[in-house]
Amino acid sequence: MPISHVALIALAGATAGAINALVGSGTLVTFPTLVALGYPAVTSTMSNAVGLVAGSVSGTWGYRRELRGQWRRLRCQIPASLAGAAVGAWLLLHLPEKVFIRVVPGLLVVALVMVLAGPRIQAWARRRAEQSGRAVDHLSFRRMAGLLVGTFAIGVYGGYFTAAQGILLVGLMGALLPESIQRINAAKNLLALLVNVVAALAYTVVAFHRISWPAAAVIAVSSLIGGFLGAHYGRRLSPSTLRAAIVVVGLIGLYRLLATL
226-246, pLDDT tens digit by residue? 999 988 888 777 767 776 776
Element (H, E) at 155: helix 141-160
Angle CA 58–79–31, to nearest 5? 45
The total domain count for the chain is 1
Low-confidence stretches of the chain (pLDDT < 50) are 129, 133-136
Q: How far apart are CA 195 and CA 185, in angstroms?
A: 15
Burial bucket for residue 146 (CB in 10 Å: 0-12, 13-18, 19+) = middle
Q: What is the pLDDT of residue 151?
A: 94
pTM of the shown model: 0.80
Residue 156 lies in domain: 3-260
Q: Who's near 174: CB < 8 A, 6+ residues apart?
A: 114, 115, 118, 121, 122, 181, 184
